[in-house]
Chain A
Amino acid sequence: MATEGQEHPISVYLKIWILLFVLSIFSYMVDFYQLQGWLRWSLILIFMFLKAGFIMAIFMHMVWERMALVVALLSPMIAVLVFIAIMGYESEYTQASRDVFFDDGKPDKVWAVPHGAHKAEHHDGAHSAGEAH
């Protein structure tokens, strides 16, 4: 076959490259400005899928491939989605049983704050409590 190559103008790659940079900056800003809750999660997912989509479509040339290949590669992702749903349901159940059966009535362990990200008084109690082992 003569048309097995993929050749596209360099401007396409450069534009997508810049776009990926901008999207990465956006997703980093989500953490930098400490957005929380649904806003954080939805923004993370939006930027993630946009980035993944552009990498697959343009850099991996998927928009220029034949439908036979695209469908063969993308349709198995349905199995991944089903697996996510199953395990999501399962982990809810596991957590519920742990809440019921692992509750020993003791106060929660106080965990260390990574390299003193907060103030020092937060850090003091970290090692005294719950050093059972």
Chain B
Amino acid sequence: MSDTSTTSIKPLPDGMEGLTHDWASDQRAFKGVPWGKAMMWIFLLSDTFIFSCFLISYMTARWSTVVPWPNSSEVFALTVGGVSVPLLLIAIMTFILITSSGTMAMAVRSGYQKKRKQTAILLLVTAILGASFVGMQAFEWTKLIMEGVRPWENPFGAPQFGSVFFMVTGFHGFHVSIGVIFLFINVKKVWRGDYDSGKRGFFTWQKGRYEIVETLGLYWHFVDLVWVFIFAFFYLW
């Protein structure tokens, strides 16, 4: 397009001026992002509200109970070589999830550089780390259930402890599991070269592009983000 007429394309303004410009443009409001990424962000916003509601109900239960709240530092302690280490498994799970977030960020980067194999391998590492996280969570659930923790009672204190624990970590673990499934699907697609050839997806029938890796990455980082809040409020508080 020629740049001489008055209809020439100007660069989009940044900052707050960009905000009013984008929202007032009588076009799509979210410029500079593929629609799939914008929709993932909107979904994550709604998911934020779900997890916020869980954590707020946890806060309400904990602040309103007259029964002592179980000491999570002791409940989630592991005995290693005869020494009780507080929150050991939870700390390992936290580091695993952060590591997987790092490999995911690098997979997104490799994707935009169209390094097919590197992207697939980094996604695979992320998926395996995520799966091991779910495995540790299953171990933790088993341990607590055997110790008598139930959604309606537990031997350590306020009965709401169990319901909050199973609800919050269960929902988070479910998110991780779904993420792992999608990671494995994308490992296969990237490895096969779907995002180089633009092969259409089996479900959405959209052309494969490497932006999909970033959209998936957003979801995965969000799962890590939620864990940061669960770790702080449920395990550490």
Contact = CB atoms under 8 A, between A and B. Distances in A.
A80 interface: yes
Contacts of A128: none
A114 B70 contact: yes
B201 interface: no
B202 interface: no
18 contacts: A4-B33, A4-B211, A13-B109, A17-B101, A24-B91, A27-B231, A34-B73, A44-B236, A55-B221, A55-B224, A59-B217, A61-B214, A66-B22, A66-B30, A68-B31, A69-B30, A72-B29, A114-B71
Contacts of B91: 24, 28
Interface in B12-29: 12, 14-16, 18-19, 22-23, 29
Nearest to A51: B228
Contacts of B109: 7-8, 10, 13
A63 interface: no
B137 to A, nearest CB: 17
A115 B79 contact: yes
Given A95-B65, A98-B64, A31 B86 contact: yes
A114 to B, nearest CB: 4
B212 interface: no
A112 B149 CA distance: 12
Given A8-B109, A48-B229, A69-B41, A17 B102 contact: yes
A24 B91 CA distance: 8
A67 B32 CA distance: 11
Interface residues of A, number: 67
B222 interface: yes
B95 interface: yes
Given A1-B31, A59-B105, A91 B64 contact: yes
Nearest to B101: A59
Contact of A31 (B16, B105, B236): B236
A52 interface: yes
A38 interface: no
B113 A7 contact: yes
Interface in A1-49: 1, 3-8, 10, 13-14, 16-17, 20-21, 24, 27-28, 30-32, 34, 40-41, 44-45, 47-48
A127 to B, nearest CB: 8
B131 interface: no
A114 B237 CA distance: 17
B18 A67 contact: yes
Nearest to A55: B225
B112 A5 contact: yes
B14 A111 contact: no
B97 to A, nearest CB: 9
B49 A115 contact: no
